[in-house]
Structure 1
Amino acid sequence: MSLQDRLDAFKADFEAGKPPYNVPPSVIETMHRATKELIASGAAQQALKAGDKIPAFVLTDHEGNSVSSASLLAKGPLVISFYRGVWCPYCNMELEALQATLPEFEALGARLVAISPQNPVNSRKSVRKNNLSFPILSDSHNEVAAAFGLRFTLPDYLVELYQSLKNDLPLFNDDDSWTLPMPGRYVVAQDGTVLYAEVNPDYTRRPDPSEMLPALKQASMRSL
């Protein structure tokens, strides 16, 4: 089953209010409204695209170590996944799919990192929950996400919904800005050039990690 098939199956059960979710229709309507507004804003068109150079960054991983983009790229091509946090089931399914594809990334000489605004404590939860063997990096205040063109501010009505659902982003992220990254995936050559970019303001839509393999093969050829 592809990643999107898994996401679609979860979404169907969640939006139908099936146990254990039992979500009322009003919640679904509010989430749909926010997604439609983010799509209509054109924010995704401002994100980095193939051919752009990524901004240099230094972030803290789930074990408290500083990790720089320069050190990662010195070792080979880089796969980057921006995600919302351990509280997001769609993100967790994507992380699991990335983990399953990791051997193929590594066979092409690539490193994989995931970046979210959550603090290192919650990043460790992501690693445990999804049995990950790649680093989760904490992007405080979504500053790196903003440099990639992915950061957006939640509308007030969505903040109110999250608060009513006890989805406390300020607590998860140690940041009261109520911002999130649009989910984004990048393949980056060793010189920092983006070879593959996929950004979708609809967080329920995620490409299968295998779609990044052709770009990684290209990156491997460039490094020869």
Structure 2
Amino acid sequence: MKLQDKLDALRSDFENGRFPLVPTQAQLEIMQRATQSLIDSRQADNALEAGDTAPEVTLQDADGNTVSSRSLLSQGPLVVTFYRGVWCPYCNFDLQALEDARSEIEARGAKLVAVSPQTPANSRKSQRDNKLGFAILSDTGAAVADKFGLRFSLPDNLIEVYKQFGNGLTKINDDPSWVLPMPARYVIGTDGVIAYAEVNPDYTRRPDPFDLLPVLDRLRAGAPA
């Protein structure tokens, strides 16, 4: 089953009460309005895109090791996915789909990492629960997401819904700001130039990871991505 098919089924289950957490109609409407408001803001239009130079970043992985984009790019192209956190089932399906594609990605000489505002402890849980063979890097305050143009602040009414669901992002992220990255996926060439970018303010919509493979093939062949 394609990733988007799984996400569509998840959304249907959630909205129709076939999910462990059953939202009220009022909660659903707040969530839907918040997503539509982010879409309407056109913030995604200002995110980094193919042809832009990616910022150099240094972050820590879930075990406290320092990881730099420069070091990763010295080994080959880099696939970066921005991950909202352990609490988001859509995001976890996304990570699982990336893990399914990881061997094909690595066979093309690329590295795969996720970037999330959550704490290292929560990233370890994400890696364990989703059986990941790639690192989740901690982006405190979504500072790196901001460099990519992805960081946004949750509206107050959505914050209240998340609290009602038990998703206390201030604790999960160890940050008081209630900010998240828009889901996004990038392929960065060894020259630091972005070869592929997919940004969607609707967190229920994700590209299939296997769509990355032709981009990586072109980079490997030295052709324009």
Q: Deviations over 1:164-219 (max 9, x none)?
A: 22210010001000000000000110011101000000000001001111111121
TM-score, length of structure 2 as denominator length: 0.97
Partner of 1:40: 40
Alignment of 1:87-126 (within 5 A): 87-126=87-126
The whole-number CA distance in structure 1 between the counterparts of 2:40 and 2:23 is: 25
* Native 8 Å contact 1:114 1:136 kept in 2: yes
* Native 8 Å contact 1:17 1:24 kept in 2: no
TM-score, length of structure 1 as denominator length: 0.98
Q: Secondary structure at the match of 1:197?
A: strand
The answer for unaligned runs of 5 or more in structure 2 is: none
Partner of 2:183: 183
Which amino acid in structure 2 is aligned with residue 33 of structure 1?
A: R
Q: Secondary structure at the match of 1:81?
A: strand
The whole-number CA distance in structure 1 between the counterparts of 2:21 and 2:99 is: 26
Q: Deviations over 1:71-100 (max 9, x none)?
A: 000000000000100000000000000000
Counting matched residue pairs gives: 223
The whole-number CA distance in structure 1 between the counterparts of 2:143 and 2:173 is: 12
Alignment of 1:180-219 (within 5 A): 180-219=180-219
What percentage of residue pairs aligned between the two structures are identical? 57
Partner of 2:23: 23
Q: How far did 1:19 drift?
A: 4.3
Partner of 1:56: 56
Q: Deviations over 1:83-142 (max 9, x none)?
A: 100000000000000000001001100000000000100000000010001000000010
Which amino acid in structure 2 is aligned with residue 80 of structure 1?
A: V
Q: How far did 1:21 drift?
A: 2.6
Alignment of 1:60-75 (within 5 A): 60-75=60-75
- Confirm whether residue 13 of structure 1 aligns to residue 21 of structure 2: no
The whole-number CA distance in structure 2 between the counterparts of 1:88 and 1:124 is: 15
Which amino acid in structure 1 is aligned with residue 85 of structure 2?
A: G
Q: Secondary structure at the match of 1:202?
A: coil
The whole-number CA distance in structure 2 between the counterparts of 1:91 and 1:79 is: 16
The whole-number CA distance in structure 2 between the counterparts of 1:23 and 1:94 is: 22
Which amino acid in structure 2 is aligned with residue 137 of structure 1?
A: L
* Native 8 Å contact 1:86 1:92 kept in 2: yes
Q: Secondary structure at the match of 1:59?
A: strand
RMSD value over aligned CA atoms?
Answer: 0.9
Q: How far did 1:22 drift?
A: 2.1
Q: Secondary structure at the match of 1:205?
A: coil
The whole-number CA distance in structure 1 between the counterparts of 2:102 and 2:119 is: 24
